[in-house]
Structure 1
């Protein structure tokens, strides 16, 4: 509700909002008091919540709410003063009162008021008659025990706020529109559409700033070419002077050199300013995007409202004592993810209480405490939200599960007998599968798990079940922290970029052409002691087949339950964090595609719908239309290969670069330091020089400077690769004459190979 809506709301609507907030406090506190009846902070919190509701109900004239809150407050005050020890029946009654208060505050629920006299009588019977205060059931009306505050002629929202502030023992309520968080920060209400628009605009700004990088690289290349032109004019001037040319010719040449010198100074200044502007713009855009994204994030505790109470009440209805222990309540998650997580968590919690936790007598016989424990833990890991829900119950009877699978004819009995535990547990996620003989109001362990899995996959996440017989089960849910961005592996298929969400990727592989085999008309390869089916991404995505001449395939392995599939792509571009851009609704459902995004250079990438893609794979397999992946094999003999010199004092880095380039077909030579590299350059011909900066005898800056001064080597493309990723180090390398500067941390995503191709093209001459 916005501040404007709050000012226009009726007193009853405002009372309903306050009742919703205060009953949450009561639910949480009463469940804690059930475990520790003397916990002072929880007693105080519950007493204040009941007192606040009593005052608010009196102001709006809801006498039934005043009566219920009054007897609840009396009970809690007696417990605070030590005149009453809260037992199970007291907690039950107080929780019933909490529910009754919420019903009374709900517009249109007239039945709530009818239950008030019975509740007041029930509370009176529970209170100790010998207590110093009167426990007689009385309906408190205005003017009976505490005077009703006069309501001045103000807006309804202000009336409620002022009345609450007038109660001496209640903390002042913040005015609408000026609410403050517990940290003292001002809190404002903003619509979800505005937040989404802000995030969309900030993400586009972030992408746009990345488009400056190619212009900066072009300016650096232009500056180097300008320097080469200046050196060429110096050589021409020397030749003209020695050949006795007229003064007019020499003056014209000097004028040309002067003009070029001025333009070189302007070019250097503009390049430096644009470089600085690009860096600052990217930093500001990143900060803007991070701030906009943080506005959408909410603590994980927001999805837990009422779950403690639900677990407690469900357990008692089944004759079980169950505690819900929660860790990571403050873990930040996207608002949309939280909303979609609520239903799966309720499914899993109900299953854990009903079919996971045993009855108290069975737990005692098994040597366990009579109270069962369900643990819910949320945490961040590698950009994902990890939710673990475990119980200390009996676990899953695997033999009974085997019988259920065989009885339902889901698999032959002899096959079921040989299945591993992980394979057996996957059957619990099949639609309609249950180990229950009859349907009850509370789901069995299998009922609803297919729905849970479907909802988790809609979040681009995964769910995994593990169990230990006699000790309990554990469900692990892995979902993105936000639906606005997705961590993906970007690949090239048919000359275009596609993105696979990392949550669905098992691994990536280079599969040699000779390792691909035909089994029953389908292509497979052997990996980690199992056959993995191989499918071409070009066929799945209807892209033209690339003309690759490499000796191995780039394969993305994706998992569907216990089944692995290999998707052959042309190139692995690398891991990227993509801002999701939904497709236009007028397009309908695009096969195998879920959304779009923009890469750093502004080009469009389509995000693959992995579940849809897996259905396409199954369709190709069942219809027999799967095409064979053909490779042309190694490069033709006799074709010259481009030569690259790698200069680095680290053996590991030298070998890594050599293998990367050799696998792409380049002829690679290595040198151990700058001096060794300089000798190699003077004695042989190369198409590209790749050098480190920090090396003994001669560092990379000195080596590049010598190369640019040498008449024969002036046009040799040079790439600097260094651990140093600071702006000043990059400028030093480029100012010395390098064409490209790359940090060594970028090896993992083909950035080195992409840069080599940009500078000198493919490996074939």
Structure 2
């Protein structure tokens, strides 16, 4: 590449950057002008942006950009001077020109031909002054100095005639002061392309640098994302390393205490010695005291110095880390580029008037989080325009303004980025949603009729769910809110929807401010430390071993009015099972969408803020692990990939390989205790029987129906089965019949407890193989317990 080519390439890159900045100004300004076409500040900003682009395009020889921006500038000047009132068709055309300029300035984009430019200039000219045609510079010809001078003179004459009236043509030009904005820039014969005298073209390297310094107060340099990540990695390790000084300080404090003890021991020894002691021994004792005193003094000094050094090192390391982290932070506005325009254009295509208002544009967020937020926010905005905002006629009929409003608000709250997307539309039609759920066979009609508003709205987040019957360019393809939820979950965040009929909806998103730091619960599994991101933890709790029940062959515990599956972290992470003998399990309740499980760990170490250290890419995807980190003492900890872990649980369930949590820690207590399985579909009866039997000392498991009970009988050993008759999936008679046909279970004692107290019902149960029949109508504590003792004896017998 020749020097000239390199220079041209560099200039065009600057032109591209200039176009990116100025088209953003144009888009924002034009949307504001659409609401109020006479805003002087916005007219000025848009005119200046078009003027700057014209100058920049001329410098790099992009004549198509010159023509497009020039006719846009003409339109805006006309509006500024009151000769043209901007209407929606003018805004549409100016926005079209904005898009065309960006295509012209962006290599690789769809090309803009001369016919496109001619057509656009003709369109704009007709909109400005119908019947007048504007001269277009052919893009194939680079204007010479004479051409530019001629064009400048012609433009001056036309501008004077327009601004001062026909009489100005008969007066000397020098007699008429000309507004500076009317002058077309002409390169000086002694200047290079980077030294254009067009003050409106900030694409000059020096001027662009000055402008960016003025805006931000600092010089702006380009740094690769990889280098920023490396810098953050090194600074985080430096921060962790400084924490390793604390154990040394603690050890030195222990040495100081030991020395103090030794000094007291010497004092006691001296007191025991009388005056007749050997003088040499006395001198040795005094020497020992002197050496101990020097050591104490030195240790005190060194401890103080180390403490000061540790504090200073920690402060500097923290400042280094905070600065490195700040380099990754960007304003929330960076993800909003083009969103206001998208909302406006989509609304117009749907025959709606919609405006987007943004609050908290300067809220700082990690650039990686911003990149991943763009897609879900775009989807929610499109969803709000399409599903939320009504047509102007509907809005006016309901007492609202014809123009719909969508508010996007960003803020920091307790270490999180909180984003709220609020529309003032019609809200969600709950009855229509309920019918859609029934029509799609997602819930029986009887059940759907009982669903609360929160439960109904949760269906909107199901994969493939759509309330549109027909597929359009915007909706109806089933790629809905489940995709939004999934993307937000990948950011270790969450999304909720609340709505008010006729008043609108609000999507509430919470995601971490940065992916570089994660607030986690550190636990111990198999003697190793692991971290669960707090965003996926519903609760940490202790589960009594006696509260673990068997349902459908799997272990569960009762949590917030539902049975939650229990799995061992040691099996999922391939760690040795705990050999501790506590009767209380430490359980982390994790959630991802509708999947909820309790993961049993050995102990809770505590909450920590961890600096994420990516795993070596040569390892590939490590099952159930997302990244690593260092604890305060420098030891490594692996961060759990909760979504992956839940997939691992489902896989173990589907293959039948999910192990029961080892309850050998209770063998000493339970070795002689007899086990009873209670099968009943009534929660009240089931819990009553369980508590009665537990109170008498029996070990009790429960099942919710016959199928669940059959799975439990095949998975574990029991001394007695207590079952109801009328149950879903498999009733008690079928269960007893299966049991009596099984060679391993056929001798197991069976008690039937049923509301049916007729003789034929009793005979039916006993004929199936039951050993005892107890009617619930005559049910009371002693009757049940006496029957159990009669069948299998006391709990410890």
- Rounded to whole Å, the distance in 1 between the matches of 2:115 and 2:508 is 45
Q: Deviations over 1:59-114 (max 9, x none)?
A: 23333322222222122122223333222122112111212222333446543431
| 432-441 vs 112-121, which moves further | 112-121
- Rounded to whole Å, the distance in 2 between the matches of 1:137 and 1:388 is 47
- Rounded to whole Å, the distance in 2 between the matches of 1:180 and 1:95 is 29
- Rounded to whole Å, the distance in 2 between the matches of 1:90 and 1:453 is 39
Residue of structure 2 equivalent to 1:310: 342
Query: Is the 1:350–1:443 contact (alpha carbons within 8 Å) kept by the matching residues of 2?
Result: no
Residue of structure 2 equivalent to 1:294: 326
How far apart are 1:308 and its partner, in Å?
A: 0.8
- Rounded to whole Å, the distance in 2 between the matches of 1:598 and 1:624 is 36
In the alignment, structure 1 residue 484 sits paired with structure 2 residue 516 = yes
Query: Is the 1:48–1:170 contact (alpha carbons within 8 Å) kept by the matching residues of 2?
Result: no
Q: Of the candidates 520, 526, 540, which is equivalent to residue 508 of structure 1?
A: 540
- Rounded to whole Å, the distance in 1 between the matches of 2:214 and 2:517 is 27
Normalising by structure 2, we get a TM-score of 0.74
Query: Is the 2:470–2:476 contact (alpha carbons within 8 Å) kept by the matching residues of 1?
Result: no
Residue of structure 1 equivalent to 2:603: 571
Q: Of the candidates 406, 421, 432, which is equivalent to residue 400 of structure 1?
A: 432
Q: Tell me: CA distance 1:291–1:10, structure 2 relative to 1, closer, same or farther (3 Å).
A: closer
Q: Tell me: CA distance 1:635–1:7, structure 2 relative to 1, closer, same or farther (3 Å).
A: farther
Residue of structure 2 equivalent to 1:241: 274
How far apart are 1:631 and its partner, in Å?
A: 5.2
How far apart are 1:135 and its partner, in Å?
A: 6.0
Q: Tell me: CA distance 1:372–1:534, structure 2 relative to 1, closer, same or farther (3 Å).
A: same
**SS in structure 2 at match of 1:91:** helix
Matches within 5 A, 1:340-739: 340-444=372-476, 447-630=479-662
Q: Of the candidates 135, 139, 145, which is equivalent to residue 138 of structure 1?
A: 135
Residue of structure 1 equivalent to 2:361: 329
How far apart are 1:17 and its partner, in Å?
A: 2.6
How far apart are 1:151 and its partner, in Å?
A: 6.6
- Bigger Rg over Cα: 2
In the alignment, structure 1 residue 123 sits paired with structure 2 residue 124 = yes
Q: Deviations over 1:718-742 (max 9, x none)?
A: xxxxxxxxxxxxxxxxxxxxxxxxx
- Rounded to whole Å, the distance in 2 between the matches of 1:323 and 1:349 is 11
- Rounded to whole Å, the distance in 2 between the matches of 1:634 and 1:623 is 28
- Rounded to whole Å, the distance in 2 between the matches of 1:59 and 1:223 is 75
Residue of structure 2 equivalent to 1:693: none
- Rounded to whole Å, the distance in 1 between the matches of 2:291 and 2:17 is 75
Q: Of the candidates 149, 156, 160, which is equivalent to residue 187 of structure 2?
A: 149
Query: Is the 2:529–2:637 contact (alpha carbons within 8 Å) kept by the matching residues of 1?
Result: yes
Q: Deviations over 1:332-387 (max 9, x none)?
A: 11111111211121112112111221111112222221111111111112212122
Q: Tell me: CA distance 1:487–1:60, structure 2 relative to 1, closer, same or farther (3 Å).
A: same
Query: Is the 1:58–1:142 contact (alpha carbons within 8 Å) kept by the matching residues of 2?
Result: no
Q: Deviations over 1:179-229 (max 9, x none)?
A: 415132222221212111111110110011111111110000011011101
Query: Is the 2:343–2:385 contact (alpha carbons within 8 Å) kept by the matching residues of 1?
Result: yes
Matches within 5 A, 1:109-120: 109-120=110-121
- Rounded to whole Å, the distance in 2 between the matches of 1:152 and 1:257 is 89
Query: Is the 2:357–2:407 contact (alpha carbons within 8 Å) kept by the matching residues of 1?
Result: yes
Residue of structure 1 equivalent to 2:755: none
- Rounded to whole Å, the distance in 1 between the matches of 2:481 and 2:581 is 46
Q: Deviations over 1:5-36 (max 9, x none)?
A: 99672433432332222111100110011112
Q: Tell me: CA distance 1:301–1:245, structure 2 relative to 1, closer, same or farther (3 Å).
A: same
Normalising by structure 1, we get a TM-score of 0.77
Query: Is the 1:461–1:479 contact (alpha carbons within 8 Å) kept by the matching residues of 2?
Result: yes
Query: Is the 1:103–1:112 contact (alpha carbons within 8 Å) kept by the matching residues of 2?
Result: no
- Rounded to whole Å, the distance in 1 between the matches of 2:6 and 2:466 is 48
Query: Is the 2:18–2:203 contact (alpha carbons within 8 Å) kept by the matching residues of 1?
Result: no
Query: Is the 2:100–2:112 contact (alpha carbons within 8 Å) kept by the matching residues of 1?
Result: no
How far apart are 1:170 and its partner, in Å?
A: 6.2
Residue of structure 1 equivalent to 2:45: 45
Residue of structure 2 equivalent to 1:11: 11
**SS in structure 2 at match of 1:313:** helix
Residue of structure 2 equivalent to 1:269: 301
In the alignment, structure 1 residue 189 sits paired with structure 2 residue 222 = yes
Residue of structure 2 equivalent to 1:77: 77
Query: Is the 1:352–1:445 contact (alpha carbons within 8 Å) kept by the matching residues of 2?
Result: no
Q: Tell me: CA distance 1:112–1:346, structure 2 relative to 1, closer, same or farther (3 Å).
A: farther
- Rounded to whole Å, the distance in 1 between the matches of 2:226 and 2:8 is 22
How far apart are 1:575 and its partner, in Å?
A: 1.2
- Rounded to whole Å, the distance in 1 between the matches of 2:70 and 2:213 is 29
**SS in structure 1 at match of 2:273:** helix
Q: Deviations over 1:150-171 (max 9, x none)?
A: 47575xxxx34x32xx235667
Q: Tell me: CA distance 1:436–1:191, structure 2 relative to 1, closer, same or farther (3 Å).
A: same
- Rounded to whole Å, the distance in 1 between the matches of 2:204 and 2:65 is 20
Residue of structure 2 equivalent to 1:33: 33
Query: Is the 1:55–1:66 contact (alpha carbons within 8 Å) kept by the matching residues of 2?
Result: yes
Residue of structure 1 equivalent to 2:87: 87
Q: Tell me: CA distance 1:110–1:613, structure 2 relative to 1, closer, same or farther (3 Å).
A: closer
Q: Deviations over 1:499-558 (max 9, x none)?
A: 011111112122333333333333333333333332222222222222334343222222
Q: Tell me: CA distance 1:18–1:112, structure 2 relative to 1, closer, same or farther (3 Å).
A: farther
- Rounded to whole Å, the distance in 1 between the matches of 2:386 and 2:6 is 42
Across the two proteins, how many residue pairs are aligned to each other? Answer: 622
- Rounded to whole Å, the distance in 1 between the matches of 2:105 and 2:615 is 43
- Rounded to whole Å, the distance in 1 between the matches of 2:583 and 2:189 is 85
**SS in structure 1 at match of 2:412:** strand
**SS in structure 1 at match of 2:274:** helix
Q: Tell me: CA distance 1:601–1:632, structure 2 relative to 1, closer, same or farther (3 Å).
A: same
- Rounded to whole Å, the distance in 2 between the matches of 1:388 and 1:181 is 32
Q: Deviations over 1:563-590 (max 9, x none)?
A: 4322222211111111111112222221
User: Which ranges of structure 1 fall in alignment gaps of 5 or more residues?
Assistant: 638-765
- Rounded to whole Å, the distance in 2 between the matches of 1:206 and 1:87 is 59
Query: Is the 1:226–1:264 contact (alpha carbons within 8 Å) kept by the matching residues of 2?
Result: yes
Q: Tell me: CA distance 1:292–1:106, structure 2 relative to 1, closer, same or farther (3 Å).
A: closer
- Rounded to whole Å, the distance in 1 between the matches of 2:497 and 2:279 is 89
**SS in structure 2 at match of 1:9:** helix
Q: Tell me: CA distance 1:202–1:74, structure 2 relative to 1, closer, same or farther (3 Å).
A: same
**SS in structure 2 at match of 1:83:** coil
Residue of structure 2 equivalent to 1:279: 311
Residue of structure 2 equivalent to 1:661: none
Query: Is the 1:376–1:388 contact (alpha carbons within 8 Å) kept by the matching residues of 2?
Result: yes
**SS in structure 2 at match of 1:590:** coil
Q: Of the candidates 167, 173, 177, which is equivalent to residue 198 of structure 2?
A: 167
**SS in structure 2 at match of 1:324:** strand
Residue of structure 2 equivalent to 1:205: 238
Q: Tell me: CA distance 1:45–1:238, structure 2 relative to 1, closer, same or farther (3 Å).
A: same
- Rounded to whole Å, the distance in 2 between the matches of 1:72 and 1:323 is 23
Residue of structure 1 equivalent to 2:261: 228
**SS in structure 2 at match of 1:115:** helix
Q: Tell me: CA distance 1:494–1:8, structure 2 relative to 1, closer, same or farther (3 Å).
A: farther
How far apart are 1:488 and its partner, in Å?
A: 0.8
Residue of structure 2 equivalent to 1:686: none
- Rounded to whole Å, the distance in 2 between the matches of 1:614 and 1:250 is 74
How far apart are 1:172 and its partner, in Å?
A: 8.7
